[in-house]
Amino acid sequence: MFFLKEETKVITMHPSYFGPNMREFLIARLNEEEEGRCTGDHFVICVMDMVDIGEGRVVPSSGSAEYTIKYRAIIWKPFRGETVDAIVTSVKPTGIFTLAGPLSVFIARKNIPSDIKWEPNTVPPQYTDHADQVIEKGTSLRLKILGVKPDVAAINAIGTIKEDYLGALQGVYQDNEATIAAYAHASMTLASARDS
Amino acid sequence: MQLRLPPSLHYPITVTSLLKREGDTVERDEAIFWYIYQTTVEEGDGLGNQVMVKRKFPTRFESTVDGTVVKWNIAKGDVIDEPVDVVEVEEPCAHEVQFGGMCAECGKDMTESTYNTEISETFRAPIQMTHDNTTLTVSEKEATRVEEDAKRRLLASRRLSLVVDLDQTIIHATVDPTVGEWKDDKDNPNYDALKDVRSFQLVDDTPGARGCWYYIKLRPGLEGFLEKVAELFELHIYTMGTRAYAQNIADLIDPTRKLFGDRILSRDESGSLTAKNLQRLFPVDTKMVVIIDDRGDVWRWIPNLIKVVPYDFFVGIGDINSSFLPKKQEIVVTPKSSRGSKEKGKEKEDQEHHVNGATMKTGPETEVSALEQLVTMGGGDDPRLLQEQADAQEETIMHQVEDRPLLQKQKELDADDDASADGSESSSSGDESQEVARPRHHLLVDHDTELFQLQDRLEAVHKIFFEEYDKKRTHALGGRVAALRGEKAASKDKDVDLKLVPDIKDIMPLYKAQVLGGVVIVFSGVIPLGQDLQNAEVSLWAKTFGVVVLKNIGKRVTHLVAGRNRTAKVREATRWPNIKIVTTQWLYDSLINWRHMDEDPYLLPVHPDDRGEPLSPGSRELVDNSWMSSSDEATNVTDDDASDELFKDAGLSESSPLSYDEEDQAAVHDELKDFLGSDDESESDSEFFAEEGAEPSRKRKRGEGSDGNADEESTHEDGDEVDAKGSRLSQRIKRSYERSTGLRDVATPGGSETEETRFEKGQFPAPDDDDEGEAGVATVVGDKQETQSETAVEGSDVDADDFEREMMAAFDDPDYSKESGAAPTSTDQG
């Protein structure tokens, strides 16, 4: 579920940024650090606006300045029972791996309708009921989240498509490959940004 | 699931009431029955004294699982003395598949734990079996199910699994930017070879190599190889490169993902940076898995492995992803190329100053001891080491990018050419593909044929496997058809019986052992001193082909593999007509080609000075003893020639039944002990010799029967009586008596009394002579014969001939007579 949440963050500024464009620097820094971040509890989707940028306070003995910023951001906190759309990233005999935006959701074989069977001999391998339902890499799925588990800097979720109106989405044409690649790239950049 | 009492309860306990009935639901941590236990506690008695009293305490037992009670195994009033299953609870979900700490089926958090938790729920699904994901774990049951499905499918389509390594097995990668420049430069001598080199850029790979270009050379024939092999095998990639690297390579070699699909395992998911583990992909069983890799050590030489020759196209680059692996033991296999000898030498020289980080670190000494390697392997969890290795990896990449090893080499090569152009034309002798107009040498030559051979081998393995399977199946089918006569025969496809699947781990070694089976080799100048002979890279490799590796030259040795000429072992081997002295190249070529190569082209030219005298049959046995001292397990197989001779002497074949029972043995044993008991030797020693002596004595006894006594008595009288029926053995002993005067001194250490009693009994003089001789020799400290006699004692087959010779040798030795002279009993006839 999406929320508009007010949060505060302390940003430390190097003295070299002190000057007339300070405010822009601060906002740019905030956006860079916050957007796309996963707190382990929710994902920060977008920083909306600044509520208040506090007065800078020079930290003794370093010369840097600390700003306490109050801002509003759109966050997404996945809940149990929530229905989301996701894209299949890979299919395995044990189940289906999907990405719902930044959230990785796994659908175990038990949570796939029993008429949709694992079919390893096709290229790429797929889950199919040998009719209109074909789930392979890149397919759009509608699934229901069964459980969410926060981790240090990620959230894992498991989902099900064993209910009415869940499963492969027909008629939704998307460039899913590109989307997956974009997500993968984004998460990688995030990861490397975190590392460095 | 059966709910079991924990061992921590205060047993015995008495059940007082059950709180749940069958069919009730229970939750975790909910009380399911009451019980009382008794214990002694300290209490005040109200007068300020502390008294120990026995008390009963009622307690609740709480369930550790959710579910429905199916059946109680206990009833009210039961007294329980030990941990037992108390109740069967049916769980709604067994949590067999878990994803990121959650049950993937019910969504419960598996990492939760309370005071009541005995084993964390996560242990219910400990196995990772997905290629590209480490957060998904499954239980053993689930893994078995998935694997069996896969096996059924493979058997139905008559395929096996093949795990393929990338670096230096099917491709060769480098980050040296020189390659890119040469590739675009039509005039470069390496242009031809580089034409089909592919490249890609990894943006976020290792921190040091952001945005660096990787140049990939596919092994010649790769496309056809993969296509053909994919018909017989399901292909998996298992690489020590990063995920992104593996994906990119997969895109190059398999753009449609027809061959590999998603079955790619990289170092990010491997779980270990130092070793590859087949259980990571096939947790339950690996019966149908074949591996191809250029390194055996990372797989610990498991029998599923087919070791291939490393593909070394970018000369001297090595494996760019090997920094985390234990250092490679260098095996310099000279490529069977058409290049001139000069260039060959050049290349060898180059290999010594690799710019590759892995070899850089080792510096001048490229050899690494097994221990060091183990330490490196085991150090996978050490973060400091990991960091070091990560740095090394980074450094490798950086070095290649900056130092441009290939460019350096080409320059060297060019300089070399210039030099030789002035002198002779010898350098251009072998290189046919060389351009006429430009007399520059290629640094990079594309002549590898390993994949073609590999394909044949894989096809052969596949064929043998399914022949075996069919054989087993028709066998089983026949039996079943007979049993179920009249019933409709099951369709062939359905009848995939997993129990009948043969094991590749049995089939491959058998097949490979045919190649060099029966070959017994000794290395000389190949494995550096101090390195474990049996665990050296080349020994392990050779052993997978049925080769037996020994330490010392001996009778059974068929080949001496010499790394250089004029070693002591070469000298020794020349004395054996049956040992072929070959260069290491013979062994490598045989291993590479899976063929027992003809030795003639590989024979080592032996320096004339080193040619020793061929061994005479007699002296050979002397040497035999020396190899028995080697600590190999192979030496347990002693040759029975000596004892055979003994049997023949005694008029027996080896197969003739020996009606020698325990009673006889005990009698002989006692008698021997009697007379040895008076010896100067310590108790344990005499026992030992008595044991040893028992064997020859019994052989003699069998052979000569009752006449033996008389003969032997006569030999003892004075040694000049003609022995009419005496066997060769007794004759020999007699001869030895005649030759040496001091013999009897030794033979009668206990004084005349013992001698007399022995003569009265008139039994086995021969064994006691042997024993004495042996004992005497063994006591000569510092004698050069000592080693031999000791080994003879150690050997299970003690033969008379050896003793005789040793006795004689010992008697000839002045030291010995001094010693024996010092012995207290220098009596009579001497």
State how far residue B174 is from chain A, nearest Cα, in angstroms. 23
Beta-carbon-side half-sphere exposure of residue B29 (alpha carbons within 13 Å): 6
B680 is a catalytic site residue: no
For residue B266, the 8-state DSSP code is -
B391 CB-near residues (< 8 Å, 6+ apart)? none
B742: pLDDT strictly greater than 50? no
- From residue B172, how far is each of B320, B390, B409, B446, B539 by CA, in Å? 9, 21, 17, 12, 26
> What confidence score (pLDDT) does residue A5 get?
93
Higher-scoring residue by pLDDT: B637, B71: B71
Q: B258 contacts in A (CB within 8 Å)?
A: 123
Residue in A112, A122, A158 to test binding to B, most B beta-carbons within 10 Å:
A158
Q: B108 contacts in A (CB within 8 Å)?
A: 147
Amino acid at A167: G
Picking from B757, B613, B766, the residue whose alpha carbon sits closest to that of residue B704 is B766
For residue A69, the 8-state DSSP code is E
Picking from B216, B271, B291, B292, the residue whose alpha carbon sits closest to that of residue B248 is B216
Contact A94 B207 (CB under 8 A): no
SS3 call for B233: strand
Question: Alpha-carbon distance A37 to B217, whole Å?
Answer: 39
Helix or strand holding residue B71 (H, E): strand B67-72
Higher-scoring residue by pLDDT: B632, B508: B508
Q: What is the CA radius of gyration of chain B?
A: 37
Contact by Cβ (8 Å): B99, A108: yes
Amino acid at B448: D
> What confidence score (pLDDT) does residue B262 get?
82
pLDDT in tens, B67-92: 899 989 988 888 998 888 889 989 88
Strands A126-128 and A134-135, sheet pairing = antiparallel
B634: pLDDT strictly greater than 50? no
> What confidence score (pLDDT) does residue B719 get?
42
Compare CB distances from A120 to B100, B153, B257 and report the shortest one's residue.
Answer: B153
Write down the residue that tokens 């005298």 correspond to: B613
With vertex at residue B424, the alpha carbon angle to CA B421 and CA B426, rounded to the nearest 5 degrees, is 100
Q: What is the mean predicted confidence (pLDDT) over B123-149?
A: 86
**Alpha-carbon torsion, ordered B297, B301, B305, B309, to 10 deg:** 50
Query: For chain B, what is the total number of helices (H) and then of strands (E)?
Result: 28, 23
Q: Which domains does chain B have, with CATH numbers?
A: 2-92 (2.40.50.100), 95-157 (no CATH), 158-428 (3.40.50.1000), 517-636 (3.40.50.10190), 641-822 (no CATH)
Question: Alpha-carbon distance B812 to B572, whole Å?
Answer: 26
pLDDT in tens, B289-315: 999 998 888 888 888 888 888 888 887
Query: What residues pair up with A144 in beta bridges, in sequence order?
Result: A83, A160
Which of B199-208, B311-320, B436-445, B587-596 has the weakest average pLDDT? B436-445
State how far residue B105 is from chain A, nearest Cα, in angstroms. 6
Which of B92-106, B543-557, B626-640 has the weakest average pLDDT? B626-640
Contact by Cβ (8 Å): B396, B357: yes
Secondary structure of B500-540 in HEC code, one letter for each residue: HCCCHHHHHHHHHHHHHCCCEEEEECCCCCCCCCCCCHHHH
- Among chain B residues, CA nearest to A158: B104
ipTM entry: 0.82
Write down the domain spans for chain A. 2-76, 83-191
- From residue A17, how far is each of A8, A14, A54, B109, B380 by CA, in Å? 21, 6, 16, 46, 43
Query: For chain A, what is the total number of helices (H) and then of strands (E)?
Result: 2, 13
For residue B138, the 8-state DSSP code is E
Cβ neighbourhood burial of B810 (10 Å; 0-12, 13-18, 19+): buried
Question: Alpha-carbon distance B571 to B766, whole Å?
Answer: 38
Contact B136 A94 (CB under 8 A): yes
> What confidence score (pLDDT) does residue B441 get?
60
Which of B106-110, B296-300, B607-611 has the weakest average pLDDT? B607-611
> What confidence score (pLDDT) does residue A106 get?
93
Q: B136 contacts in A (CB within 8 Å)?
A: 92, 94-95, 97, 106
- Per the residue annotation, which of B78, B81, B109, B165 is the catalytic one? B165
Cis ω for the linkage preceding A124 (within 30 of 0): yes
Which of A22-31, A133-142, B446-455, B604-613 has the weakest average pLDDT? B604-613
B494: pLDDT strictly greater than 70? no
Higher-scoring residue by pLDDT: B464, B807: B464
Count of CB atoms within 10 A of residue A10's CB?
10
Q: B142 contacts in A (CB within 8 Å)?
A: 94
In a structure prediction context, what are the per-residue pLDDT tens digits for chain A, which is 196 residues long? 899 999 999 999 999 989 898 889 999 999 999 998 898 889 999 999 989 988 889 999 999 999 999 999 999 999 999 999 999 998 988 899 999 988 999 999 899 999 998 888 887 888 988 888 889 888 899 999 999 988 887 888 999 999 888 988 875 555 566 666 766 666 666 556 555 5
Query: Which residues does A contribute to its contact with B (CB < 8 Å)?
Result: 80, 90-95, 97, 104, 106-111, 118, 120-121, 123-125, 137, 146-147, 149, 151, 156-158, 188-189, 192, 195-196
Question: Alpha-carbon distance A171 to A139, whole Å?
Answer: 11
Sign of CA dihedral B114, B119, B121, B127: positive
State how far residue B489 is from chain A, nearest Cα, in angstroms. 27
> What confidence score (pLDDT) does residue B594 get?
82
Contact by Cβ (8 Å): B198, B207: no
CATH of A2-76, one of 3.40.50.2000, 3.40.50.1980, 3.90.110.10, 3.30.1490.120: 3.30.1490.120
> What confidence score (pLDDT) does residue B16 get?
92
- Count of CB contacts below 8 A, A vs B? 90
B335: pLDDT strictly greater than 70? no
- From residue B123, how far is each of B90, B102, B112 by CA, in Å? 19, 12, 12
> What confidence score (pLDDT) does residue B717 get?
45
Question: Alpha-carbon distance B86 to B800, whole Å?
Answer: 70
Contact B129 A137 (CB under 8 A): no
State how far residue B177 is from chain A, nearest Cα, in angstroms. 25
Question: Alpha-carbon distance B1 to B73, whole Å?
Answer: 13
Sign of CA dihedral B285, B287, B288, B290: positive
State how far residue B111 is from chain A, nearest Cα, in angstroms. 10
Average pLDDT, chain B: 69
> What confidence score (pLDDT) does residue B208 get?
52
Question: Alpha-carbon distance B709 to A84, whole Å?
Answer: 102
pLDDT in tens, B252-271: 888 888 888 888 888 888 87
- From residue B132, how far is each of B246, B262, B454 by CA, in Å? 11, 8, 27
- CB-based contacts of B485-493 (< 8 A; 24+ apart in sequence): B493/B156
Q: What is the mean predicted confidence (pLDDT) over B433-462?
A: 70
Which two structure tokens, joined as six digits, stand for A171?
Answer: 């008629």
- Among chain B residues, CA nearest to A81: B107
Q: What is the mean predicted confidence (pLDDT) over B666-672?
A: 69
B167 is a catalytic site residue: yes
Which two structure tokens, joined as six digits, stand for B1?
Answer: 């699931």
- Among chain B residues, CA nearest to A196: B207
B765: pLDDT strictly greater than 60? no
> What confidence score (pLDDT) does residue B662 get?
59
Per CATH, the number for A83-191 is 2.40.50.140
Query: pLDDT exceeding 70 applies to what percent of chain B?
Result: 57
B54: pLDDT strictly greater than 70? yes
Question: Alpha-carbon distance B525 to B522, whole Å?
Answer: 10
- Among chain B residues, CA nearest to A187: B204
Contact A146 B207 (CB under 8 A): no
